[in-house]
Amino acid sequence: MSMSNVVLHVADVHKSFGGLKALSDVDLQVMEGTTHAIIGPNGAGKSTLLNVCIGRIPPDTGAVVFDGEVITGKQPHEINQMGVVRVFQTPEIFPDLTLLQNVMVPAFAKRDGAFRLNAIQTVSNQHDIRDEAEHWLEDVGLKDQKDMTAASLSRGDKRRLELAMGLIQRPRLLLLDEPTAGMSRHDTNSTIDLLRKIKARGMTKIIIEHDMHVVFSLADRISVLAQGQIIADGTPDEVKGNPKVQEAYLGGPRQ
Amino acid sequence: MFKGLSRNDWLLLAGFSAFVLLMPIILQPIGAAYPALMQKICIFGIFAIGFNILFGLTGYLSFGHAAFLGVGSYAAVWSFKLFTMNIIPALLMALVFTTIFAVAIGYISLRRSGIYFSILTLAFAQMCYNLAYSVLTPLTNGETGLQLTLKDPRWIDAMFHEPGAGLPRATLFGIDTSGGGLGGFYLCAIALIVCFFFSVRIFRSPFGMMLRAIKSNQTRMRYTGFNTRPYLLAAFVISGAYAGLAGGLMAATDPLAGAERMQWTASGEVVLMTILGGVGTLVGPVIGAGVIKYFENIFSSFGDNTLHGVFGFLPDIIEQPLVSFLSLFVGEGWNLTLGVVFMLIVIFLPGGIMEGLRRIWSRLNRRHDGGEKIAVAQPQPAE
Ligand SMILES: Nc1ncnc2c1ncn2[C@@H]1O[C@H](COP(=O)(O)OP(=O)(O)OP(=O)(O)O)[C@@H](O)[C@H]1O
Ligand SMILES: [Mg+2]
């Protein structure tokens, strides 16, 4: 359990959409227990990189290795069952279910695996799963609304809900795509606190974020992606001082 | 198996069972208390409950469920012909064959979703329908339909007693179920109650919740670690088995099977029943089945003469066009009435009869609480 284990290795990944090179020659290593931020301008290929990791988009060449095992080509549910969980840029929740049900469903995936025909028990008897779901709803500050239908939530609240849905699975690697976009300053800060708390428990995270306040509060390492290429990689301080980053990302060297 | 249902669910089950078992009394005032109609309502209730497990929970709209109804009927009649007039083996055969069938059709159709899934199921059902009339006539007896004959072997029955003079009746250990008496009705009623109970269990189970989640956002389910295919296939097969049981019961109450049971109109009918009653609700599909079968019975027996009788008091100049207009909707034209009602429901009450009841209920409750509070709580928007 040393901190220097590579949990995720994105190895020489290329991906083009038609003529557009969304990812070229991307090589990325994420260490166990760290929070690894990926930043870059709009359209840089950040979400595409996560899509490749969770099996949503197959890379043209290259591979993704999780915990020593190649996961490119695996089914999305297999990758999830290995412990890789993704929170999407546009919230992906169950709009017709209540908040509590939204969080209980992933807990069933964690407990019962990819398929189990459990038509004998009732949901209301699954006290362990219900309690756990309520606990995570409380952590993201949505417990009061637990019986509301998820469709009626604001965008920021949907994000927090999806975060709870991810966290209840206790993933080994959590992929967060702009987790605080659309949130108020107050909610952003409580989300940062929550993510810090999880980090203390040793969960590895990749976080894509435009909000530099969030990035510098959480990240141990930052990779900068621009036009599908990683142009810088290092500790927050190293990246901050890198002139290439300032040029590509901030639109010119800082005055 | 009986653990975990809430008090409300038990009340619902008790109320439902009481209603179904007392149908011969309750339906007396509306003139529907005769066994042939009541058992039809129960059988189609089972068909619709099963259909709702697929359509209501997963959102996958099958347009080919009548195929299972047909397969169930044929299997049951073959059991009558080959083995025994006891309905237990017949119903088991119906279940086994429809399950096998549903696994095959579901496995292929569920490779697609949405409209493509619907089309695939429709295509399968039409294929079965056509095969029943052509290549499979040795099994289905083509247009005549599969019937009992005196020459049938009935091996198991033959071991115990000499065949009687006439065609035998289907029985449940001595209770006559195909004679058009209450025996057949109570058989179907009890089957309906058991099927309803299982549907409540499925609705309340983790499996049911997963199906609802798939309906709500299948992509999310995949990235949440679920293999959604087997969940959908399980729902499909369960609902196919319900349809097969319904088909078996049709044969148990009237031992013959024809291919028209598999026609697309029969598949469409169960869709109508479910939507009319309320998709995704527990009792809605049964109500839909009951309402449609009841009115079908009334309307299709109306002829021009009945209409002339009803409107005889009007002057001829009004009566003639009125009767010829209305006669479009009765008798053979009952399907037209059904179509119009269905359109009105889908447009004005998409949640079906159940939603209508819920609206009335909440309006009544509001009136009880006093209208004034509401007026304060929802002020009229200013000009
Ligand atoms: N499925 C796809 N098909 C075609 N083009 C795509 C697809 N997904 C992404 N792209 C394109 O690839 C490029 C990178 O997109 P991506 O979503 O990865 O950017 P991003 O860095 O996440 O941007 P943002 O910060 O706006 O979310 C964009 O030009 C986008 O239009
Ligand atoms: Mg993005």
| CB-CB neighbors (< 8 A) of B215 in chain A | 96
Counts of helices then strands in chain B (DSSP H, E): 19, 4
* Residue A19, ligand 1, Cβ within 6 A: no
* Substitution candidate for ligand 1 out of A17, A49, A230 with most atoms within 8 A of CB: A17
B361 part of a folded domain:
no
- Residue A22 CA to ligand 1 centre (angstroms): 7
Based on the structure, what is the number of domains in chain B?
A: 1
Q: Whose CA is nearest to atom 18 of ligand 1?
A: A45
Give pLDDT, residue B297.
87
Six-digit token pair at A127? 């006290």
B370 part of a folded domain:
no
C-alpha of A75 from chain center:
18
**Closest partner CB to A77 (pick from B3, B5, B225):** B225
Residue of A102, A108, A159, A163 best to disrupt the B interface, most CBs of B under 10 A:
A108
| CB-CB neighbors (< 8 A) of B224 in chain A | 77, 80, 105-106, 109, 165, 169
The closest-lying atom of ligand 1 relative to the alpha carbon of residue A49 is 18
Give pLDDT, residue A250.
58
B217 and A121 in contact by Cβ < 8 A? no
CB B49 within 8 Å of CB B195: yes
Find the helix packing angle between B7-21 and B182-204, rounded to 10°.
Answer: 160
Strand order of the sheet with strand A204-208? A84-87, A173-177, A204-208, A35-39, A221-226, A229-234
Nearest to B170 by CA among B251, B85, B249: B85
- Residue B344 CA to ligand 1 centre (angstroms): 44
- pLDDT classification of A63: cutoffs 50, 70, 90: very high
The closest-lying atom of ligand 1 relative to the alpha carbon of residue A178 is 27
Q: What average pLDDT does range A227-255 have in this prediction?
A: 77
Q: What is the DSSP letter of A181?
A: T
**Closest partner CB to A125 (pick from B4, B212, B224):** B4
| CB-CB neighbors (< 8 A) of B208 in chain A | 119, 123
Q: Which residues face B176 on adjacent strands?
A: B171
| CB-CB neighbors (< 8 A) of B222 in chain A | 75-77, 80
Q: What average pLDDT does range A61-69 have in this prediction?
A: 93
Give pLDDT, residue B1.
62
A120 and B205 in contact by Cβ < 8 A? yes
What gap in Å lies between CA A115 and CA A108, rounded to an integer? 10
Q: Mapped to the 3 state alphabet, what secondary structure does B284-307 carry?
A: HHHHHHHHHHHHHHHHHHCCHHHH
Q: What is the DSSP string of B244-258?
A: HHHHHHHHHHS-EE-
| CB-CB neighbors (< 8 A) of A123 in chain B | 204-206, 208-209
Q: Whose CA is nearest to atom 3 of ligand 1?
A: A17
Asked whether residue A1 carries a pLDDT value surpassing 60, the answer given is no
How near does any CA of chain A get to the CA of B232, in Å? 11
Give pLDDT, residue B333.
79
A76 and B222 in contact by Cβ < 8 A? yes
Segment A174-230, tens digit of pLDDT: 999 999 888 889 989 989 988 888 877 788 999 999 888 899 989 999 999 999 999
B176 part of a folded domain:
yes
* Residue A33, ligand 1, Cβ within 6 A: no
Segment B267-325, tens digit of pLDDT: 999 999 999 999 999 999 999 999 999 998 888 877 777 777 777 788 888 888 888 88
* Substitution candidate for ligand 1 out of A48, A53, A229 with most atoms within 8 A of CB: A48
A167 to chain B: nearest residue by CA?
A: B224
- Residue B149 CA to ligand 1 centre (angstroms): 70
How near does any CA of chain B get to the CA of A82, in Å? 9
CB A108 within 8 Å of CB A129: yes
Six-digit token pair at B333? 């034209």
Query: What's the sign of the alpha-carbon dihedral B345, B347, B349, B350?
Result: positive
Domain range enclosing B33 = 11-270
* Substitution candidate for ligand 1 out of A14, A42, A47, A51 with most atoms within 8 A of CB: A47
What gap in Å lies between CA A155 and CA A200, rounded to an integer? 27
Residue of A75, A81, A94 best to disrupt the B interface, most CBs of B under 10 A:
A94
Domain boundaries, chain A: 1-83+173-255, 92-170
Longest dimension (CA), chain A: 67
Query: What's the sign of the alpha-carbon dihedral B319, B325, B326, B332?
Result: positive
Residues of B at the A interface, defined by Cβ within 8 angstroms:
1, 3-6, 201-202, 204-210, 212-213, 215-217, 219-228, 230-231, 234
* Residue A22, ligand 1, Cβ within 6 A: yes
Which residues, 6+ apart, have CB-to-CB distance to B284 below 8 Å?
A: B52, B274, B277, B278, B352, B353, B354
A104 and B209 in contact by Cβ < 8 A? yes
How near does any CA of chain A get to the CA of B10, in Å? 13
ipTM of the complex: 0.92
Query: What's the sign of the alpha-carbon dihedral B259, B265, B269, B271?
Result: positive
Gyration radius of chain A's alpha carbons: 19
Query: b vs e for B125-145, b when ≥16 Cβ sit within 10 Å of the residue's Cβ?
Result: bbebbeebeeeeeeebbeeeb
Mean pLDDT split into 10-residue runs, chain B, 383 residues: 83 96 93 90 97 97 95 94 92 96 96 95 93 88 86 83 79 82 92 97 96 96 96 97 96 90 90 94 96 88 76 81 81 83 88 92 80 40 38
Q: What is the DSSP string of B22-74?
A: THHHHTTTTT--SHHHHHHHHHHHHHHHHHHHHHHHH----S-THHHHHHHHH
What gap in Å lies between CA B195 and CA B13, rounded to an integer? 11
**Full-model pTM:** 0.91
What gap in Å lies between CA A86 and CA B222, rounded to an integer? 11
* Residue A44, ligand 1, Cβ within 6 A: yes
Give pLDDT, residue A48.
95
What gap in Å lies between CA B256 and CA B6, rounded to an integer? 41
What gap in Å lies between CA A207 and CA A205, rounded to an integer? 6
CB pairs under 8 A between A and B: 107
Give pLDDT, residue B374.
41
| Range A1-83+173-255 classified under CATH 3.40.50.300 | yes
**Closest partner CB to A54 (pick from B205, B223, B227):** B223
What gap in Å lies between CA B319 and CA B307, rounded to an integer? 9
A93 to chain B: nearest residue by CA?
A: B220
